[in-house]
Amino acid sequence: MVQQISGNAKKSNNKTAIVTGGSRGLGRNTVLNLAKRGIDSIFTYNSNQTEAEKVAEQVRDIGRKAIVLQLDTSNISSFDSFVQSIGKALAELETEHFDYLVNNAGISHHNAFAQTNEEELDALYHVHFKGVFFLTQKLLPLIKDGGRIVNISTALTRIIMPGSCAYASMKGAIEIMTRYLAQELGSRRIAVNVVAPGAIATDFSGGMVRDNPELNKRVAEMTALGRAGLPDDIGPMIASLLSDDNRWVNAQRIEVSGGMSI
């Protein structure tokens, strides 16, 4: 049951985004770039509250508001209480609804198809598909009509890399779900798109692209623009996609990879 905010609550004209996995990597960069565009955030972390609070402080330094909430996106049973926490956070931000949802939280996986076991596949399914599906469903009553949703996929749904079958398959499911959501939420004027980053130098996958010079070089050689991606290549793009400048972009998969494997 979605918590209803009192009609006596103050209302703000500021826009608000919910970003899952906002304490590090692409999520962190997205939160900061939204702040630069004047957008407040409610963002989640899974285990590292200290890093999350640092991001919130950076947002405040920019002059915007950020509220940090803990969320394990694989724990579907926690979503009702999380939505109640969202309701309280929105009231703190002097609004009843949020404008943007960025489903970014994720886990990595590298294993050959023949060696991937049921436990590994289930973990990917719960975080990358089931969690996104039901969290979005639970939050629908709180997103404004005319709002926007961005789901994060991967260039690996197009570019075939050994050991990425299970991970990319879950992201492929998200890409299909996105098109269905765009159709079903069209009556509420909610646009839904997918952003598919290429190889980005973050701590994701143990920092393999960032910290492995050989892999970083190989990515650069297969990318038209001649380098691996950086968080600053993705966060501003997502913030831009959520803006009114892109209000007519809907049901699209937008790859942001610098031209990998073209």
DSSP 126-187: IIIIIHHHHHHHHHGGGEEEEEEEEEE--GGGTS--TT-HHHHHHHHHHHHHHHHHHHHTGG
17 φ/ψ sector (left φ>0, alpha ψ -120 to 50, else beta): beta
Q: Report the range of poorest mean pLDDT among 167-176, 212-221, 247-256.
A: 212-221
- Tokens 């001649």 correspond to what residue? 226
- Give the domain ranges of the chain: 16-256
Contact between residue 90 and residue 5 where contact means Cβ atoms under 8 Å apart: yes
Taking only the tens place, the pLDDT of each residue in 66-123 is: 999 999 999 999 999 999 999 999 999 999 999 999 999 999 999 999 999 999 999 9
E strands along 55-115, which residues? Answer: 66-70, 98-103
Binned at pLDDT 50, 70 and 90, residue 221 comes out as very high
**178: pLDDT strictly greater than 70:** yes
Q: Which of 45, 100, 167, 180 is catalytic?
A: 167
Residue 140, Cα to own-chain centre: how many angstroms? 16
Binned at pLDDT 50, 70 and 90, residue 210 comes out as confident
Binned at pLDDT 50, 70 and 90, residue 204 comes out as low
What is the three-class DSSP state of 193? strand
Query: Closest by alpha carbon to 180, among 168, 195, 190?
Result: 190
Q: Report angle CA 153, 169, 156 to the nearest 5 degrees.
A: 50
Contact between residue 166 and residue 109 where contact means Cβ atoms under 8 Å apart: yes
Is 167 an annotated catalytic residue?
A: yes
- Looking at domain 16-256, which CATH architecture does it have? 3-Layer(aba) Sandwich (3.40)
Instruction: Give the percent of the chain with pLDDT over 70.
Output: 93
- What does the pLDDT average to over 122-127? 98
- What does the pLDDT average to over 1-23? 68
Residue 2 confidence (pLDDT): 36
Residue 138, Cα to own-chain centre: how many angstroms? 16
Contact between residue 201 and residue 171 where contact means Cβ atoms under 8 Å apart: no
DSSP assignment, residue 45? Answer: E
At residue 74, φ and ψ (nearest 5 deg) are -90, -10
pTM attached to this predicted model: 0.93
